[in-house]
Chain A
């Protein structure tokens, strides 16, 4: 595993190399070489099983983090190749030619995060939300609570409790609320 990670560092100037546990490591590479690294892992290092593709919205940094998670069925190890792309007009080179299921992930990411993959088959087709007009629904700035309150009429009998306050009221009804508890509840 360490040998592979050293090679990725050398070949693709990987940063932030982290071994999460035995057999699982994550590396961050530049957007321009991310698919090169993925292809190299597949063709030369035996990471032939494409586990999944994912995205994390680091809204505070203005970045989306794309993840390509690959598995080597012989060494039983996983490498997650990560790359950061700008949140404004996000786009990434399509990897649909590498594995048959990649276009499905790219289609989902286009809908859920608004990341474009030019040339990816059916990338503009709806995936799970038909006729969606709001901002992409998996972005951090999409407020689910506000959306549901605006979209669905509030039904009588439905109440929302703050879990910490509610549990305290149920378990310790007569106990005064200390300043420390108040801070904890925040």
Chain B
């Protein structure tokens, strides 16, 4: 086809390759390239992070992720506080699913102090319920959020409403909506309130309806299909090379899920199979997350049906103000909505931890992987690629 502005169709094969000029070769004074900053405050950016883009026309030729806008030194703060004082700090390391931090820090301290076998059965079921509710509220934002990056804003509004209903359940279970502090060393803080299961079931029925509607809205939509198919493809060979985990790995057929591979709590008693796809593009990742939404609803129903009606919720623990843990180290992981989420915890025999180091999936997804996936992409697709990797800056900066 003849270009209507130029009057002829240039032979693009003879033009210099944009992607070949990454790095020191990029000469901004040539006026061929331009710098664009996406973020730190931008509606398309997940959280507060910035991407420094070097573009040639509409094509990204280099990308650098910049973090630090949320850094409050959480790990350092925890090292300077008693074990129990670390809890309210740790949950702020991931806003999307704070409960994961509660579980990790509680399990690390229990393992190193020898109380991991003392956690009551009922508490394990309630921990699992809390973690799955956290996954559900994250997916209710995440799945339609991907549609939002392609201008399908309606699903986001439905998702935010339904997420709010799950936050209502969190509020009656824990007393708080976002940062719950429900999972504590030795168990959990409380039993299910009367009528909780019925109210939760009502919400899950609403979400069942939402799941069908979101399928029609996003996956039957030609705009979403056209733009998401084939974009930012991850191949199985990239998974170990970049440390890719969670739905980003399962979207290209690498079936890894900590809940299945190394079952913790009572996940071995639940009937589920992590969904996968083979294409590895944005469409495949979103499709896997949509199926995971169905599965999470099912898991919550299974947990509520299988958990005992009553039982102890907390083991007898030492006085938290004088709690000293012997010298040791451990690493605990779980499957968060974004993939493997872990914590390296070192104690030195005092009443404070020596080192707490979080391993969030975004550490590699948002930096090494995102920077490479963006090269060659269109500027209009940058935020879609970023959202598709479920990047979460707080867990990078900690």
Contact = CB atoms under 8 A, between A and B. Distances in A.
B331 A101 contact: no
A54 B333 CA distance: 15
Given A128-B67, A128-B68, A138-B76, A164 B372 contact: no
A164 B322 contact: yes
B357 interface: yes
A24 interface: yes
A135 interface: no
A67 B344 contact: yes
Contacts of A51: 243, 331, 333, 340, 342, 359
A118 interface: no
Q: Is the interface of A mostly helix, strand, loop or mixed?
A: mixed
Contact of B243 (A50, A126, A129, A144): A50
Interface in B339-359: 340, 342, 344, 346, 354-355, 357, 359
B157 interface: no
B261 A73 contact: yes
A23 interface: yes
Interface in A20-51: 20-21, 23-24, 26, 48-51
Contact of B363 (A48, A104, A142, A164): A104
B376 to A, nearest CB: 17
Interface string B235-266: 00000111100000000000010000110000
Contacts of A26: 329
A9 to B, nearest CB: 19
Interface of B: 67-68, 71, 73, 75-77, 80, 82, 85, 111, 240-243, 256, 261-262, 321-322, 328-331, 333, 340, 342, 344, 346, 354-355, 357, 359, 363-364, 367-369, 372, 396-397
Given A99-B241, A99-B243, A76 B261 contact: yes
A82 to B, nearest CB: 9
20 contacts: A20-B328, A20-B329, A23-B262, A48-B240, A51-B359, A52-B357, A52-B363, A56-B354, A76-B261, A78-B331, A99-B243, A100-B364, A101-B243, A101-B368, A104-B367, A129-B68, A137-B73, A137-B76, A164-B321, A167-B321
Given A48-B240, A167-B321, 9 more contacts: A51-B340, A52-B342, A99-B241, A101-B364, A101-B367, A127-B67, A128-B397, A137-B73, A163-B321
Given A104-B367, A127-B68, A56 B355 contact: yes
Contacts of A23: 262
A20 B330 CA distance: 7
Contact of B242 (A55, A56, A101, A128): A101
A100 B396 CA distance: 16
A158 interface: no
A163 B357 contact: no
Interface residues of A, number: 39
A67 B76 CA distance: 18
Nearest to A145: B80
Q: Is the interface of B mostly helix, strand, loop or mixed?
A: mixed
Interface string A101-117: 10110000000000000
Nearest to B70: A128
Contact of A126 (B68, B242, B357, B359): B68
Contacts of A48: 240
Contacts of B242: 99-101
Contacts of B342: 51-52
B368 A103 contact: yes
A67 B355 CA distance: 12
A163 B82 contact: yes
Contacts of B67: 127-128
Contacts of B330: 20-21, 24
Contacts of A138: 75-76
A101 B342 CA distance: 16
Nearest to B75: A138
A56 B241 contact: no
A95 interface: no
Nearest to B330: A20
Contact of A100 (B328, B333, B368): B368
A10 interface: no
A123 interface: no
